[in-house]
Amino acid sequence: MEAAVNEIVAKYNYWIYVVLMMIGFYAMIGKRNLVKKLLGMNIFQTAIILFFVSTGVKKGGNIPIVDKYQALAGGVDAATIVNPLPHVLMLTAIVVGVSVTGVALAVLLRIYKEFGTLEEDEILEKLQR
């Protein structure tokens, strides 16, 4: 029991992302309102983005902005700065996420124009009629 608690506490950030991810996943699969599904998708993506950013963190690491002349002269001690690559990757992922959200919202607008609602049950009802 104690070992499990220690495990959770030691990697608390990852456990938070797992919980976030599950919330998002539940909303995408379980919710019947299309906007809530979309919000779930955003939460899901955010969890993964946070997860990636976390991987770059180092204890006592500084921001990865290095003085050029200093670096050229003395080199860089990689242990003193956080890994910038995951952040850069996540910038791209955020852009992707925003685009998907944008397209999804546009599609939701079309669905609303078509059916007059964004509740899946009501849409299904209208389709059957």
Site for other proteins (CB under 8 A): which residue of 22, 71, 91, 96?
96
91 forms part of the interface with other proteins (CB under 8 A): no
Q: Which stretch binds other proteins (CB under 8 A): 1-9, 58-66, 67-75, 100-108?
A: 100-108
50 forms part of the interface with other proteins (CB under 8 A): no
| Alpha-carbon distances of 18 from 44, 49, 50, rounded to whole Å | 9, 12, 10
In the complex, minimum distance from the CB of residue 116 to other proteins, in angstroms, rounded to a whole number: 13
Site for other proteins (CB under 8 A): which residue of 111, 117, 119, 122?
111
Determine the Cα–Cα distance for residues 44 and 119; give it in Å rounded to an integer.
Answer: 21
128 forms part of the interface with other proteins (CB under 8 A): no
Q: Is 119 helix (H, G, I), strand (E, B) or coil?
A: strand
Tracing tokens 């993964």 back to the chain, one arrives at 48
Site for other proteins (CB under 8 A): which residue of 67, 114, 121, 125?
114
CB distance 93 to 45 below 8 Å: yes
82 forms part of the interface with other proteins (CB under 8 A): no
CA dihedral 116, 118, 123, 125 (to 10 degrees): -90
